[in-house]
């Protein structure tokens, strides 16, 4: 008996039980459709987070933390003649800064991958508008340079806000959620209170919406000179430098080059936002595992149907065994049945999954500010490999599920079956 004969017998068995076959195949189809949809949603969520991070944050950030400490000449003399020791020279209330940042910028311009460089000063303040008070982070920048770093210009609600911030020394650009908290609109006067209780009145010149709820409700942009005065640092010092690179995927290599040139700690975008990216990837993996159990349930259905078929076909099995059909052929007949059920299931489930993805991507709802990202839709990325994975996995589950009933069919003794000792 060749493979074609075995497949033909398996098809006849299933054709005799059309309802059972169809219902079992539908179980595999539902699992396939759900897995295709879940893979697409998981990819869409992760890719959306990565795209938002790349679009709203510098690709590389140079911080004020030195990785190669400077040793002043008056501490250790080069000729080894004397060594001086300094103790208790600690100023915990003084913020770490990059001194002479212009020199650091000149030093890294030789890196070919860099497209834009923007120094900044971060200042943790309390924003107050009459009776409304909320903490926020004021980011002091040079507006012309910052517009090219983090896609700030296209996220502006008032399109000329960056230009207005540049010629307004006391201007501030706030996130839209922060503006709602403060009940502040265009040209509203608010007050920034520093950690030293100093007050700096500023005027709202615009709002931005990055899509990151945390950024939009806690960040604001002011001019670099104002931030330096608020932090009490010199005009030639900053707390960090943002960089935009030509090759986002090689940002870690660029960060290593910059760190070697400047001596300051440099982090790429994926390292800085590792927690957010890992959170979404972990959630996607957990969701895939949970949806994968739908396939296991479908596999149990296949196994149940195959067991029923075996019990109902014991006399046929006995006749075939009496005619010299080998045990391996009997096993393959019932495994072919599982294979056929799996094929029917995935051929229904794959198009059904595509249809569900299309319907889900067309749904629009009110953007929520409850999560990490603000979005008015469920982002999906449906690729052909998701369907190929699901098709292969669905057929494999169906075949594996039919293995145990198929082996059980070969354990019956033909003589006992024909005597009526075993049978339905």
User: For residues 239 and 233, what is the distance between their CA atoms, to the nearest angstrom?
Assistant: 9
User: For residues 368 and 380, what is the distance between their CA atoms, to the nearest angstrom?
Assistant: 18
What is the model's pLDDT at position 424?
A: 46
How many residues would you count in the chain?
Answer: 424
The pTM (predicted TM-score) of the whole model is 0.72
Residue-wise pLDDT tens digits, 270-321 = 888 788 778 777 877 887 787 777 777 777 777 877 777 776 666 776 777 6
User: For residues 122 and 412, what is the distance between their CA atoms, to the nearest angstrom?
Assistant: 79
Residue 285, C-beta contacts closer than 8 angstroms, at least 6 positions apart: 42
User: For residues 334 and 323, what is the distance between their CA atoms, to the nearest angstrom?
Assistant: 18
**Cα dihedral 141/146/147/153 (nearest 10):** -60
Q: Interhelix angle for 327-361 vs 274-312, to 10°?
A: 140
Residue-wise pLDDT tens digits, 365-383 = 776 665 666 777 788 888 8
* Phi, psi torsion values for 135, nearest 5 degrees: -75, 150
The 3-class SS string of the chain reads: CCHHHHHHHHHHHHHCCHHHHHHHHHHHHHHHHHHHHHHHHHHHHHHHHHHHHHHHCCCEEEEEEECCCCCCCCCECCCCCCECCCCCCCCCCCCCCEECHHHHHHHHCCCCCEEEEEEEEEEEEEEEECCEEEEEEEEEECHHHHCCCCCCHHHECCCCHHHHHHCCCCEEEEEHHHHHHHCCCCCCEEEEECCCCCEEEEEEEEEECCCEHHHHHHEEEEEHHHHHHHHCCCCCEECEEEEEECCHHHHHHHHHHHHHHHCEEEEEHHHHCHHHHHHHHHHHHHHHHHHHHHHHHHHHHHHHHHHHHHHHCHHHHHHHHHCCCCHHHHHHHHHHHHHHHHHHHHHHHHHHHHHHHHHHHCCCCCCCCCCCECCCCCCCCCCHHHHHHHHHHHHHHHHHHHHHHHHHHHHCCHHHHHCCCCCC
Q: Look-up: residue for tokens 């806000």? A: 161
What is the model's pLDDT at position 69?
A: 64
What is the model's pLDDT at position 419?
A: 59
Q: Look-up: residue for tokens 């869409």? A: 44
For 259, other C-beta atoms within 10 Å of its C-beta total 18
Residues of the chain with pLDDT under 50: 73, 424
């Amino acid at each position: 008996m060749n493979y074609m004969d075995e497949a033909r017998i398996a098809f006849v068995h299933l054709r005799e039980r059309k309802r059972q076959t169809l219902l079992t195949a539908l179980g595999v189809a539902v699992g396939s459709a759900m897995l295709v949809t879940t893979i697409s949603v998981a990819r869409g969520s992760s890719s959306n987070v990565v795209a938002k991070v790349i679009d709203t944050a510098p690709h590389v950030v140079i911080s004020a933390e030195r990785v190669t400490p400077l040793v002043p000449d008056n501490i250790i003399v080069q000729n080894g003649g004397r060594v001086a020791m300094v103790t208790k020279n600690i100023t915990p209330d003084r913020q770490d800064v990059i001194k002479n940042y212009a020199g650091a910028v000149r030093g890294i311009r030789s890196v070919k991958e860099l497209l834009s460089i923007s120094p900044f000063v971060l200042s943790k303040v309390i924003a107050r508008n009459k009776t409304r008070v909320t903490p926020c982070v004021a980011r002091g920048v040079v507006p012309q340079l910052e517009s090219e770093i983090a896609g700030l210009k296209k996220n502006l609600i008032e399109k000329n806000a960056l230009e207005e911030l540049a010629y307004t020394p006391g201007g501030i650009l706030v996130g839209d959620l922060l503006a709602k908290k403060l009940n502040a609109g265009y040209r509203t006067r608010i007050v920034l209170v520093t950690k030293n209780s100093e007050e700096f009145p500023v005027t709202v010149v615009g709002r931005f919406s990055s899509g990151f709820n945390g950024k939009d409700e806690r960040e604001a942009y002011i001019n670099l000179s104002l931030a330096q005065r608020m932090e009490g640092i010199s005009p030639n010092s900053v707390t960090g430098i943002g960089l935009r690179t030509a090759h986002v995927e090689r940002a870690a290599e660029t960060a290593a080059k910059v760190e070697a040139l400047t001596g300051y700690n440099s982090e790429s975008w994926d390292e800085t936002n590792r927690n957010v990216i890992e959170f979404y990837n972990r959630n996607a993996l957990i969701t895939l595992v949970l949806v994968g159990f739908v396939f296991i349930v479908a596999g149990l259905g296949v196994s149940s149907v195959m067991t029923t078929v075996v019990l109902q076909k014991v006399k046929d099995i006995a006749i075939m065994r009496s005619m010299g059909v080998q045990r391996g052929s009997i096993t393959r007949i019932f495994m072919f049945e599982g294979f056929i059920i799996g094929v029917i299931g995935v051929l229904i489930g794959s198009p059904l999954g595509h249809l569900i993805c299309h319907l889900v991507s067309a749904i629009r709802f009110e953007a929520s500010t409850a999560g990490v990202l603000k979005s008015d839709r469920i982002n999906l990325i449906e690729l052909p490999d998701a369907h190929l994975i699901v098709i292969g996995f669905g057929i494999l589950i169906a075949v594996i599920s039919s293995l145990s009933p198929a082996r059980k069919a070969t354990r019956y003794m033909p003589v006992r079956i024909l005597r009526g000792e075993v049978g339905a």
